[in-house]
Structure 1
Amino acid sequence: MSITLIIIIITGLISYNAFNNPTLKARLIFNPYTILRNREYHRFLSSGFIHADFIHLLFNMFVLWMFGGYVEQIFAAIYGTAGYVLYVLMYLIGIVVSDIPSFLKHKDSPYYNALGASGGVSALLFSFIVFNPTQDLCLYGLLCFPGFIWGALYIIYSVYMGKRKGDNINHDAHLYGGLFGIAFTIVAVPGVIPAFIDQLSTFSLF
């Protein structure tokens, strides 16, 4: 059983329990105000294992399944067993790091909450793009563009929507989770930089 599948199963079980247990959800959700005053730092991580509803859960786990498995195999091929550890660290730290900007913004807002694995999933998605910048990624199976183009558009969109606000989506988590994934991949696999450049140098859109 792959590490990716284990993460999906654990996240699904905890999320499902939280759907039916408001007390559990309240204990795990990301609330900067509570974290700061009660020193409940576990919320930085635990919030990544609960979701708003089944659609939110299924979307995040689908993206994790689609791209995480490939990144897991790459790290394992390079580092062996240690690669699995690095993979898990990237995912978990991605969840934590992606929440830091929201923590700083909303630490004095008692009613601000956030949840979901988007930060960790974005880290793995962007790691995949770093390894395969020219591979087509398709939105709803219709709009297909190379990964590096989608990645650039995703960053621009996240920055814009993060400033605009108002749609109850933590776009900052998507943005900083993705940027963390890029940085982690470059540090863990320095050889990815020349490979990335080489793929782009031979790329032709037409």
Structure 2
Amino acid sequence: MSEYPDPVPAGPPPDPDRRRRLKRPTPYVTIGIIVLCIGVYGGGRLWSELESTLIFAPWLGEDQPYRFLGSAFLHADFWHLIFNMYALWLVGQAIEPVFGWWRFTCLYVLSAIAGNVAVLAFADPTGASWATFVVGASGAVFGLFGALFALSKGLSRDTTPLLVLLGINLILGFVVDGISWQSHVGGLLAGLLIGYLYTKSRRTWANVLATVLIALVLAGITFYIYAT
């Protein structure tokens, strides 16, 4: 008889994918934005002045520039909110852990602002578009999808499904009334650029510099349009 116990049969090898899933950081910024949007929607139902305070229109942005960002947290109705928050959750929990909280926050904020800058750029100061109201997080969400595309290309992933999804949603913006295609295009382009720059270099100073430069470009475009 052996004085050593019989060896215990080895279990199945650890699943590295499962281990990575278990270690995936919680997307706190994504969750925070969703909670904030829900809170703003609820607050708007109780206090109507909240909507008039945050809503964006080209003629309002010159004297109240905070609306370029504030309107991204405001939604027209329940289903508008649900659709945007679902899309935000899908892409946010995928890329926030990759970029990190502060890069993700800058990406979201700049994409939201870029969406409204595009609305301003395409508006006619003498026409109805100058007074058209714009609300919703869709410009920012398109920016996140643009960054996801840039990230996927950088990792040599297949981007065909993402391109199809983006294409369908962009087309809807052109053919369905009440959807701001300008905001979608502006947010998407900003997200593509920011995502590319963040993916190309992970150095903090380079990402901070890229963020500041893009913010200055958006501010410069806005100033130029209002000045002329």
* Same fold per superposition (TM over 0.5): yes
Partner in structure 2 of residue 121 of structure 1 = 141
Q: Does 1:150 align with 2:165?
A: yes
Maintained 8 Å contact 1:33/1:106 = no
Contact 2:151–2:199 (Cα < 8 Å) also in 1: no
SS in 2 for 1:129: helix
What whole-Å deviation, never above 9, does each CA across 1:51-106 have from its counterpart, x for those lacking one?
Answer: 00110001000000011111101113xxxxxxx11110110111101111212315
Give structure 2 stretches of 5+ with no counterpart: 1-25, 203-228
- Long gaps (5+) in structure 1: 77-83, 137-144, 193-206
Which has the higher Rg, Structure 1 or Structure 2?
Answer: 2
In the other structure, the counterpart of 1:101 is 118
Equivalences for residues 61-76 of structure 1 within 5 A:
61-76=85-100
- Conserved in 2, the CA contact under 8 Å of 1:18 and 1:25? yes
Equivalent residue number for residue 151 of structure 2: 131
Answer with 56-65 or 26-35: which moved more: 26-35
- Asked if structure 2 preserves the Cα contact closer than 8 Å seen for 1:14 and 1:50, the reply is yes
Q: In structure 2, do the counterparts of structure 1 residues 107 and 24 end up closer, same or farther at CA, with 3 Å as the change threshold?
A: farther
* Equivalent residue runs for 1:1-206 within 5 Å: 2-36=28-62, 39-76=63-100, 84-104=101-121, 105-108=123-126, 109=128, 111-132=131-152, 146-155=161-170, 157=171, 161=174, 167-190=177-200
Task: Give the number of aligned pairs.
Answer: 170
Q: Give the distance between the partners of 2:168 and 2:31, measured in 1 at CA.
A: 28
Which string of whole-angstrom CA distances, capped at 9 and with x for unpartnered residues, describes residues 163-183 of structure 1? x6x701101111111111111
Q: Is the 8 A contact 2:75 2:135 kept in 1?
A: yes
For 1:62 and 1:107, the matched residues in 2 are separated by 34
Distance verdict in 2 for CA 1:147–1:102, change over 3 Å: same
**Seq. identity, %:** 24
Are 1:132 and 1:147, in contact at CA under 8 Å, matched by a contact in 2?
no
Give the alignment's TM-score, normalised by structure 1. 0.73
Deviation at 1:191, TM superposition (A): 6.5
Change beyond 3 A, Cα 1:184–1:97: same
Closer/same/farther in 2, CA of residues 90 and 68 from structure 1, 3 Å limit: same
Q: Could you say which residue in structure 1 is the equivalent of 2:18?
A: none
Separation in structure 2 between the aligned mates of residue 131 and residue 34 of structure 1, nearest angstrom = 35
What letter corresponds to residue 193 of structure 2 in structure 1? A
The 8 Å contact of residues 151 and 196 in structure 2, kept in 1 or not, is answered as no
Distance in 2 separating the partners of 1:97 and 1:119: 8
- Indicate if the aligned counterparts of 1:90 and 1:181 stay in contact, CA closer than 8 A: yes
- Matched residue of 2:134: which SS? coil
What amino acid is the match of 2:32? I
